[in-house]
Structure 1
Amino acid sequence: MAGQVSPAELDSLLLRLLEDLEELEAKRTALNARVEEGWLSLSKARYAMGAKSVGPLQYASHMEPQVCVRTSESQDGLQQFRVMRAGARIPEEVGPREAALRRRKGSAKTQQPEPSAAPRDPLNWFGILVPHSLRQAQASFSEGLQLAADIATLQTRIDWGRSRLRGLQEKCQQPEPGAA
């Protein structure tokens, strides 16, 4: 009986898989709506500012990302994707940068200002007073990026659930060793 799979276990796994699939469909729909809304807002901004005012010629020569995608393992061993600010550090990374003690008084070096850790807002590339539709486009694409990370996490969980369900089904179909 140790090799048997309970029907309740199969049912709960199948129910969770179906809930995840339903959530995945809802997030994909929301992502498509956000992307459509972003492109519509971007086209409104191009119309308001002029086609040549919003384009590749206004991009900075050196761009720095504002966000990055980090992966981590959840409690059940599955990967999770999170969108974080580019300068933000996860708690595991926080700690002393130098192992040695620092001298506080009488520093021989002159203090140089560090470059700002926060990246500049790309909307400033297009001027100071940008149309509201351009800000809406930025917000829509940012929300879309978060939704894409959620979708990737869900897809990982669904793939794991499907493979586990297949394994349990194969285990159910195998005859017991003492039944032959």
Structure 2
Amino acid sequence: MAEMIKLDIVCILLDKLYLKALKLMEKHIQAKICLELCMCDGETYLTKSRYIMGQNQVSFLQLPTEDSAEFESIARVHTGDDNTYGQKLFDLEIKKQSNSDNRFQNPLNWFGVLVPQDLHKAQDKYQQALSWCIQSANIQTKAKLVIEE
């Protein structure tokens, strides 16, 4: 009788772990779908900007090279410990730039002063995609821990 109770407890624990793993897999798939949608939207807005400004105005030629001045990125990824899972999780920090701070350079300025609204939208979509990447990586970390249990 005691073995039957222990077996029931083990079955219940395994069921809970499987459900938790399935929920995390579903969240991961949703995050990947949202990431793909953001990337597609960003590419569409970038294409519209190229059409409006001309193909030579929005190209890799405007990107900084090795000889360019140093600058800090607007977005930064930090790692931190999660108390509930005991794993390292990622956190995205997007800094708001001020006019007086020259360390941070807005990438839109590489393409000119007056850029189309579609280029701003593309930047927003790519920032959202970066956020979805971070969220997806965190879900993967949690799922890995659940699977190891």
Query: Please, what TM-score do these two structures have when normalized by structure 2?
Result: 0.82
Q: What is residue 119 of structure 1 aligned with on the other side?
A: 104
**Structure 2 letter corresponding to 1:49:** M
Deviations along 1:30-77, whole A, 9 cap, x unmatched?
000110111111111011000000112222423431111111110121
Cα distance in 2, alignment partners of residues 144 and 27 from structure 1:
9
- Which consecutive aligned stretches of 4+ in structure 1 deviate over 4 angstroms post-superposition? none
Post-superposition offset of 1:144: 0.3
Matches within 5 A, 1:17-96: 17-60=21-64, 61-62=68-69, 63-75=71-83, 76-85=85-94
- The answer to whether the 8 A contact 2:87-2:141 is kept is yes
Q: Which has the larger radius of gyration?
A: 1
Post-superposition offset of 1:162: 1.1
Cα distance in 2, alignment partners of residues 128 and 117 from structure 1:
16
Cα distance in 1, alignment partners of residues 139 and 87 from structure 2:
10
Q: What is residue 148 of structure 2 aligned with on the other side?
A: 163
Deviations along 1:109-157, whole A, 9 cap, x unmatched?
xxxxxx8276121112212211111111101100000000010011111
Post-superposition offset of 1:85: 3.2
**Structure 2 letter corresponding to 1:121:** N
Cα-Cα RMSD:
2.0
Query: Please, what TM-score do these two structures have when normalized by structure 1?
Result: 0.68
Runs of at least 5 residues in structure 2 that lack an aligned partner in the other structure: none
- The answer to whether the 8 A contact 2:72-2:103 is kept is no
- The answer to whether the 8 A contact 2:77-2:92 is kept is yes
Runs of at least 5 residues in structure 1 that lack an aligned partner in the other structure: 88-114, 165-180
**Structure 1 letter corresponding to 2:38:** R
Count of residues paired in the alignment: 135
Instruction: Report sequence identity in percent.
Output: 29
- Report SS of the residue matched to 1:140: helix
